[in-house]
Amino acid sequence: MLKIHLLFSSLVCLWLVAMASYAYAGWVWKQGDLELSEHDFQQVLEARGLQHSKLEAKPQLQQSLLQELFVRAALLQQDSLLSTEQEALIEKQVVEYRKNQRSLQVLDKLARQNMPNFEKRAKELYLVHKDNKYSHPLLLRVRVIQKKIKEDKATSIALLEQIRTQVSSGELDFIDAVKQYSDAPDKSLAAGDSFWFTRGQKPPIFFQAAEVLSAQTPLSSVFVWQDAAYLLQFLDRQEPTVQTYAEVCDSIIAELSKAYVDKQKTLLLDELKTRFQKEVELNPSFQ
């Protein structure tokens, strides 16, 4: 009997879970007698060229869209307020919109006819731009203490050397040292953190000092550039990389295809405009 009772209890629990799931399935939001079904929501996404998976990755955008659809639904509850003339105008606007959209779709279809295979051209462009567009240099990030040299250069250097020793021994945190000693005007924004930089974006002596840093060797030697002494702390680095053709071929082909389609659309529209100018007979009252 105990086994039967346990089995019955388990079945009841499973039924309750299933009913709870069913109660929430099939709709996106509810409020009173207003409801947005999953089917209608999917229709909206398709009409707007959106993908649910990508929208879910952007919660704020999804929330904004759901709010927009709720506002629309709430207003449409009162569409009986519209006059016969307004309803007739909407129907005319819908017909006109459909014609415009259909003509744009036809134009796009015509522009894509006979589109060549761009793979060979894509490979050529990849080789041309491999050393610049698809090659990414060494990127560095460091934390910086900058000490202005006023009259006594040795004093500024000695202070940074002392800070370096204290940070190395664990007596002083580098961020605290930045806040206390750095003369950099933007030190309070990110505790001395630099943006990512490459060779050429910093003075050579600065880049050379940063280039040799690592998690194992996090502190630079103290160095001087122009009117300031510097001490750097390692934050991160990204080694030089070269994107392979396989990684970028889709984007190159997409760019070539878009350029081709855009050009074909322009040619087709120009041809139709020329036909209008040369072949269309206008009623004198519309001239």
Q: How confident is the model at residue 6 (pLDDT cuts 50, 70, 90)?
A: very low
State the chain's mean pLDDT as an integer. Answer: 89
Quick one: average pLDDT of 91-106? 97
Quick one: average pLDDT of 32-52? 93
Domains of the chain: 139-238 (3.10.50.40)
Q: Is the pLDDT of residue 138 over 90?
A: yes
Higher-confidence position of 49 and 10:
49
Report pLDDT for 19: 37
Quick one: average pLDDT of 76-94? 96
- Cα(81)–Cα(109) distance, integer angstroms: 41
- The residues, any chain, with a CB within 8 Å of residue 244's CB and separated by 6 or more, are none
Quick one: average pLDDT of 48-54? 90
CB of 145 closer than 8 Å to CB of 182 = yes
Q: How confident is the model at residue 160 (pLDDT cuts 50, 70, 90)?
A: very high
Rg (CA), the chain: 33
- Among the residue ranges 38-42, 52-56, 147-151, 184-188, the one predicted with the least confidence is 184-188
Report pLDDT for 90: 97
Measured between its terminal Cα atoms, the distance across the chain in Å is 96
- Cα(211)–Cα(204) distance, integer angstroms: 10
Quick one: average pLDDT of 219-240? 94
Report pLDDT for 209: 96
Q: Is the dihedral of CA 92, 95, 98, 99 positive or negative?
A: negative
Counting other chains too, the contacts that 146-155 makes at CB distance below 8 Å and 24 or more residues apart are: 146/182, 146/183, 146/184, 146/187, 146/228, 146/229, 146/230, 147/181, 147/182, 147/183, 147/228, 147/229, 147/230, 147/231, 148/183, 148/227, 148/228, 149/224, 149/227, 149/228, 149/229, 153/224, 153/229
Report pLDDT for 124: 97
For residue 1, what are its two tokens? 């009997």
Ramachandran region, residue 173 (left: φ > 0; alpha: ψ -120 to 50; beta: rest): beta
Entry pTM: 0.65
- Cα(127)–Cα(249) distance, integer angstroms: 11
Report pLDDT for 152: 80
Q: How confident is the model at residue 1 (pLDDT cuts 50, 70, 90)?
A: very low
Q: How confident is the model at residue 166 (pLDDT cuts 50, 70, 90)?
A: very high
Amino acid at 128: V
For residue 71, what are its two tokens? 């506002």
For residue 208, what are its two tokens? 């050379």
Q: What is the pLDDT of residues 57-75, one digit of tens each?
A: 899 999 999 999 999 999 9
Quick one: average pLDDT of 133-148? 93
Report pLDDT for 8: 41
Quick one: average pLDDT of 134-157? 90
- Cα(209)–Cα(217) distance, integer angstroms: 11
CB-side neighbour CA atoms (13 Å) of 56: 5
Quick one: average pLDDT of 221-246? 94
Please count the other Cβ atoms lying within 10 Å of the Cβ belonging to residue 146. 21
Q: Is the pLDDT of residue 280 over 90?
A: yes
Query: DSSP class of residue 244?
Result: -
Quick one: average pLDDT of 230-247? 95
